Amino acid sequence: MTHDPHPPARTLCTCHGIPDTAVARAISRTGTRSLAEVTHITTAGGGCGTCRPEIATLIREITGKEADWTPGDEPLPGGDWI
């Protein structure tokens, strides 16, 4: 059995059906630490909000810095944040 360097994407945000790979790509390409910006780009995190901690973890893993996000922040309709 060989090791697959590219494991299949899994759905990170079930509200919008956004895979973790799309979120990771948005963070990598923009270098953003803003969870609101990731939501604006991908729509992930713009619904119930339960995936936001996981998005914040991805931001930390990819950028090496804490995500710009306060738990409890709520998105406005359309994915923009207060």
Nearer to ligand FES among residue 2 and residue 70 (C-beta): 70
Residue spans of alpha helices (H) in the chain: 20-30, 35-42, 52-63
Q: Which residue has the tokens 């494991």?
A: 7
**Distance (Å, rounded) from C-alpha 63 to C-alpha 34?**
11
**Chosen residue from 25, 49, 60, 73 binding ligand FES by CB under 6 A:** 49
Nearest Cα residue to 32 out of 41, 22, 43 = 41
The two structure tokens encoding residue 60: 């930390």
By CB under 6 A, what part of segment 29-48 binds ligand FES? 44-48
Applying CB under 6 A, the span of 12-20, 25-33, 56-64, 66-74 interacting with ligand FES comes to 12-20
Q: Please, which residue, 44 or 67, has the CB nearer to ligand FES?
A: 44
Site residues for ligand FES per CB under 6 A: 13-15, 44-51
